[in-house]
């Protein structure tokens, strides 16, 4: 049985299917030695009912991988077992982590097939985070390798239920198999990256979840999409944003009628009042039509009308203001891609033209260099305040991600932002500029890259060095 594209996109009843089978978010199990074991396994699954079997790449056989939960300042201990036939490693996205545990090619050797690697670190910030591979990430993440890392507040919000919603869009064929031809496709990499045609929430197409009506509801939204910038709508709720990229806002902010923008790798925590209305989560397509992706039934008695304030979450100690007087901004010029007019760039130390770049799978450059550089983009001393100017001279949006730190966006197109929020992944519009500032308080080598994974692979990555 085959399904046409329209059915897949519409998510009709016929295309309803379980993909990985972790809708209620299975929790990680801790072994007697205190480690959570994440074993990569390829598992055959039929993801479209009546379609062909495809192979998911999973942590412990499920997609998303098990949710790892720890209290703030608690220790995370994970043993990664590589069951792939290619190298991998684990990056802890958004965690202000000890550099050696960051899981990037700057900080560790790849974990080869059959090998294990133990990650041990403490989680300094309460919030919503996630884990995923940091080599071959376009293929590895798209095949299903990711999971939630939740760092709980010492005192979580009272009388509140919570749901983690791990969002992904997959590029699948009409027969329900993961599209393989598009991996490494330079045309796709030079455009918007690998945009999917099939949406899952917690590994399931259009799942129906439940939460009690008589308690407030905290939604932890995590985007594991390779490249799509989601624009989400919640019907049946008036949500308040309480955290972005893990970091609490100073005051809860009503989402209002605007869609919630969630870039690849980004997270948003929402708080919703008590109530019995069904909540429908939808993603707006390019025509601005809402495609329903998940449902939350609110069950039981909602109790008295919930008119109380939505309190902010306890902060993680990041100051909301930075003194940037006397700090010279460092410019990162982003160039290339389709309709970008990039003539050439440096590749592995050599000047090459666009044709040779493309032959090497490259389509983008940061400050005239495609791919990783020997020298860091910025060399900082621990404690330095840094200001970066990201200048997007391309016809495409990007999602800039800095490891090991959160940054404070200050201006967009030279205009002050309406609110100062700490982020680890910032979405930039095509042909725009953004100024961000942060304190380089975490020593080590940290990647700075576009989180559209095909853009990253095709050149959009560099790194910074923070010396003790």
Report the interface residues with Cu ion, using CB under 5 A.
Answer: 398, 450, 452, 455
Q: How far is the CB of 199 from Cu ion (least distance, A)?
A: 20
DSSP 383: T
- The kind and range of the H/E element at 72 are none
Q: How far is the CB of 449 from Cu ion (least distance, A)?
A: 8
Which two three-digit tokens encode residue 117? 């690697």
Q: Which is nearer to Cu ion, 126 or 428 (CB)?
A: 428
Q: Which is nearer to Cu ion, 241 or 345 (CB)?
A: 345
> Could you check whether the bond before residue 64 is cis, i.e. omega within 30 degrees of 0?
yes
Which of 388, 385, 364, 391 has the alpha carbon at shortest distance from 377?
388
Q: How far is the CB of 387 from Cu ion (least distance, A)?
A: 21
Q: How far is the CB of 132 from Cu ion (least distance, A)?
A: 16
Which two three-digit tokens encode residue 404? 């090991």
Provide the 10 A C-beta neighbour count for residue 411. 14
Beta strands 75-81; 36-46: pairing state: parallel
Q: How far is the CB of 462 from Cu ion (least distance, A)?
A: 13
Beta carbons of 436 and 448 less than 8 angstroms apart: no
Q: Which is nearer to Cu ion, 194 or 405 (CB)?
A: 194
Q: How far is the CB of 238 from Cu ion (least distance, A)?
A: 33
Q: Which is nearer to Cu ion, 125 or 245 (CB)?
A: 245
Strand partners, 409: 436
Sign of the C-alpha dihedral, residues 220, 225, 229, 235?
Answer: negative
Beta strands 415-416; 408-412: pairing state: antiparallel
Q: How far is the CB of 432 from Cu ion (least distance, A)?
A: 12
Distance between CA 22 and CA 12 in Å, rounded?
21
Q: How far is the CB of 365 from Cu ion (least distance, A)?
A: 12
Q: Which is nearer to Cu ion, 65 or 397 (CB)?
A: 397
Beta carbons of 274 and 216 less than 8 angstroms apart: yes
Residue with tokens 């095709």: 458
- Residue 426, SS3 per DSSP: strand
Q: How far is the CB of 420 from Cu ion (least distance, A)?
A: 24
Q: Which is nearer to Cu ion, 122 or 360 (CB)?
A: 360
Sign of the C-alpha dihedral, residues 279, 284, 288, 290?
Answer: negative
Which two three-digit tokens encode residue 294? 């998940």
Alpha helices in 233-322 (DSSP H): none
Would you state the torsion angle of the CA atoms of residues 438, 443, 448, 454, taken in this order, to the nearest 10 degrees? -140
Q: Which is nearer to Cu ion, 65 or 265 (CB)?
A: 265
Q: Which is nearer to Cu ion, 255 or 347 (CB)?
A: 347
Q: Which is nearer to Cu ion, 78 or 407 (CB)?
A: 407
Which of 92, 154, 95 has the alpha carbon at shortest distance from 117?
92
Distance between CA 253 and CA 229 in Å, rounded?
21
- Residue 182, SS3 per DSSP: coil
Beta carbons of 84 and 78 less than 8 angstroms apart: no
Q: How far is the CB of 454 from Cu ion (least distance, A)?
A: 8
Q: Which is nearer to Cu ion, 163 or 452 (CB)?
A: 452
């Amino acid at each position: 049985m085959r399904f046409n594209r329209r059915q897949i996109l519409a998510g009709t009843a016929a295309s309803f299917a379980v993909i990985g089978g972790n809708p209620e978010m299975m929790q990680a199990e801790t072994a007697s030695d205190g480690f959570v074991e994440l074993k990569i396994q390829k598992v055959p699954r039929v993801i479209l009912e009546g379609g062909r079997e495809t192979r998911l790449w999973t942590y412990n056989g499920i997609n998303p991988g098990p949710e790892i939960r720890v209290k703030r300042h608690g220790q995370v201990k994970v043993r990664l077992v590589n069951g792939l036939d290619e190298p991998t490693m684990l990056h802890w996205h958004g965690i202000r982590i000890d550099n050696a545990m960051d899981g990037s090619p700057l900080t560790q050797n790849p974990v080869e097939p059959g090998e294990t690697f133990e990650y041990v670190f403490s989680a300094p910030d309460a919030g919503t985070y996630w884990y995923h591979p940091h080599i071959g990430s376009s293929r590895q993440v798209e095949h299903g390798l990711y999971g939630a890392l939740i760092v709980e507040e010492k005192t979580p919000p009272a009388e509140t239920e919570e749901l983690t919603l791990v969002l992904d869009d997959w590029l699948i064929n009409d027969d329900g198999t993961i599209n393989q031809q598009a991996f490494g496709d330079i045309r796709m990499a030079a455009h918007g990256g690998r945009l999917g045609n099939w949406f899952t929430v917690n590994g399931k197409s259009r799942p129906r979840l439940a939460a009690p009506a008589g308690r407030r509801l905290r939604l932890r939204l995590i985007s594991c999409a390779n490249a799509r910038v989601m624009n989400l709508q919640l019907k049946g709720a008036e949500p308040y944003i309480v955290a972005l990229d893990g970091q609490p806002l100073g005051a809860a902010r009503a989402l209002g009628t605007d869609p919630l923008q969630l870039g690849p790798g980004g997270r948003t925590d929402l708080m919703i009042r008590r109530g019995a209305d069904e909540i429908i989560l939808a993603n707006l397509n390019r025509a601005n039509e809402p495609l329903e992706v998940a449902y939350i039934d609110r069950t039981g008695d909602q109790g008295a009308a919930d008119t109380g304030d939505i309190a902010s979450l306890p902060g993680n100690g990041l100051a909301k203001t930075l003194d940037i007087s006397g700090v010279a901004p460092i410019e990162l010029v982003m160039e290339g891609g389709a309709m970008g007019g990039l003539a050439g760039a440096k590749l592995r130390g050599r000047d090459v033209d666009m044709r040779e770049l493309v032959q090497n799978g490259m389509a983008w450059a940061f400050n005239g260099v495609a791919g990783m550089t020997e020298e860091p983009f910025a060399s900082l001393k621990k404690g330095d305040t840094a200001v970066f100017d990201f200048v997007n001279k391309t016809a495409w949006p990007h999602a800039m991600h800095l490891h090991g730190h959160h940054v404070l966006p200050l201006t967009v197109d030279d205009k002050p932002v309406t609110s100062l929020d700490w982020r680890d992944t910032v979405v930039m519009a095509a042909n725009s500029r953004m100024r961000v500032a942060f304190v380089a308080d975490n020593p080590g080598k940290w990647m700075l890259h576009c989180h559209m994974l095909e853009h990253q692979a095709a050149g959009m990555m560099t790194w910074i060095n923070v010396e003790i």
